[in-house]
Structure 1
Amino acid sequence: MVVATRRFEFSAAHRYWRDDWSAEENERVFGPYTSPYGHGHNYTLDVSITGELDERTGMVMNMTELKAIVNDVLEEFDHKHLNFDTPYFRDQIPTTENLVRVLWRLIAARLPAHARLVHLRLYEQPDLWADYDGTGETQFSRLYTFASAHRLHAPTLSDDENRLIYGKCNNPNGHGHNYTLEVTVQGPIDPATGMLVDLEWLDRTVHSVIDQLHLRHLDREISAFADRPSTAENIIVYLWNELAPLLEGRLALLRLWETRKNIFSYAGPSPVQV
């Protein structure tokens, strides 16, 4: 089936706070998000639907109709304080993970019978978002950057073969990139915090790995690339192997931008077929 996606935007404020916790516990868990006045975001929401194509119109659903439905839902949230101006966060914290599930419930209930909601992606910031597809678990993604030098050179190939395969990337003095790493984790939402993972813990964990690559020459300073070419494919597998144990089974996907045009994804080793 064809999947159609429409992007929406709204602005809202929120605060992370539990009345049944002490101020010290709230500040320990939520940090600056506990400000009594709240803080705000320009949210971006990608709404994806599917269904049988209408033979007359050639559309899954008229985007004008979808726009009206979603905008009617977002009217409850736009230019509001989520904690105080909406009824949805009296008993749960308005995290990105909780908010995307609330939006799913409201939008799915309003769609006509011939269209079906298949995916929501809610950006709280350009480098932080949550995905939900109506199933039990939510995905949460965060972008990170590191800068490294490298030279594409396979020790098992001759110099001529390396030059032929890798071209300019085989320059003996190396070259470099500003890498962007997308880390996606998946799992149940903690009912106490409304979060899939503690963001500070996630940041510390990811930086404990990528900071070892940042401002380094991969081939000359990282032992994992001493005997294998530092291709983006090998880098992303290396990052998975380093991060997966630290993220305690929550790692779902890595995506690595070597340049704006070269993007690589990895979801771990494939299960062995028997």
Structure 2
Amino acid sequence: MVGASRRFDFSASHRYWRDEWSQQENERVFGKCTSPYGHGHNYTLDVTIRGTPDPATGMIMNMVDLKALVNEVLDAFDHKHLNEDTPYFKDLIPTTENIVRVLWRLIAPRLPAGVALAHLRLYEMRDLWADYDGSDEASFSRSYVFSAAHRLHSAQLSDAENQQLYGKCNNPNGHGHNYTLEVTVDGAVDPQTGMVIDMVALDGQVRGVIDTLDHKHIDREVPWFAARASTGEHIVLYLWELLAARLEGQLRHLRLWETQNNVFEYSGER
């Protein structure tokens, strides 16, 4: 089986609100998303299909046909208020997780025989997205930025060996980065909130962890690195250790961008 993906865009507005909840409870759970007039996003949808390439065309599916099929679905969402102008969110809160699951139900049956919908990723913003593969669970991802200084240096190596191995990164006074951490959690979508996890709670837990690194010299101010080189590999392990304990089994994956060219990932031992 071979996979192929295509990206689509649409624009829409939505509102988070439960009529049976008080205004105070709605605002506590959904924050600014409770605005009575709604708010909007430029959504990006990545559609991945799988199948066996046709021996004559060499394609799983003609991308022109996939484009037409998905755009037909998205036409009902594009430049619409999802709560008011579509039938799908009258009783379902149009969270990122719920929207991507609705899109799955609409796209999957339209695909031709021999072509399967493998994965959808819906970006609500560049730093917030949801993934769905047709299972009972979904995943939700959000990215966070922090700034820190560090020096790559191993106490197990001589000064000459450190200089040879790490080069400029072994500068005695250190250097710094704007790090981006992508946090992915998974689980069942709560039928009340439409979310895999309370986003406000997630932000609080992640910020509580990355604040231990933010605007710090990692080697000099974070005890965990006293005997460890502050490589991207070690930093992502440090972040996992703290976040896994806080997120109660929902943490699925971490991706740490040190620069645009250097990325480090960890998904635990599973």
* Contact 2:100–2:131 under 8 Å retained in 1: yes
Counterpart Cα distance in 1 of 2:267 and 2:74? 33
Counterpart Cα distance in 2 of 1:264 and 1:133? 24
* Contact 2:29–2:200 under 8 Å retained in 1: no
Q: Match of 1:195, SS?
A: coil
The alignment-based identity, stated in percent, is 67
* 2:96 corresponding residue in structure 1: 96
* 2:166 corresponding residue in structure 1: 166
Map 1:54-203 onto structure 2 (within 5 A).
54-203=54-203
Q: Match of 1:161, SS?
A: helix
Gaps of 5+ in 1: none
Q: Post-superposition shift, 1:20? A: 1.2
Q: Match of 1:19, SS?
A: coil
Q: Post-superposition shift, 1:267? A: 0.3
Counterpart Cα distance in 2 of 1:49 and 1:220? 48
1:14 maps onto 2:14 in alignment: yes
* 2:208 corresponding residue in structure 1: 208
C-alpha deviations, 1:3-48, integer Å up to 9, x for none? 1100000011100011111222111211111111000100000000
Q: Match of 1:69, SS?
A: helix
C-alpha deviations, 1:46-104, integer Å up to 9, x for none? 00001000111111110000000000000110111110111111121000000000000
Counterpart Cα distance in 2 of 1:21 and 1:179? 39
Q: Match of 1:24, SS?
A: helix
Counterpart Cα distance in 2 of 1:25 and 1:251? 26
Gaps of 5+ in 2: none
C-alpha deviations, 1:171-226, integer Å up to 9, x for none? 11111111100000000111101011111111111000101111110000000111
Map 1:254-269 onto structure 2 (within 5 A).
254-269=254-269
Counterpart Cα distance in 2 of 1:2 and 1:146? 37
Q: Match of 2:25, SS?
A: helix
Extract structure 1 runs of 4+ deviating beyond 3 A: none
Counterpart Cα distance in 2 of 1:62 and 1:105? 21
* 2:32 corresponding residue in structure 1: 32
Counterpart Cα distance in 2 of 1:22 and 1:145? 34
Counterpart Cα distance in 2 of 1:214 and 1:56? 55
Question: Aligned AA for 1:188?
Answer: A
Q: Match of 2:168, SS?
A: helix
Counterpart Cα distance in 1 of 2:183 and 2:28? 24
1:232 maps onto 2:232 in alignment: yes
Counterpart Cα distance in 1 of 2:269 and 2:180? 21
The alignment's TM-score, normalised by the length of structure 1, stands at: 0.97
Q: Post-superposition shift, 1:269? A: 2.7
Q: Match of 1:60, SS?
A: coil
Q: Bigger CA drift: 193-202 or 19-28?
A: 19-28
Q: Match of 1:144, SS?
A: strand
The alignment's TM-score, normalised by the length of structure 2, stands at: 0.98
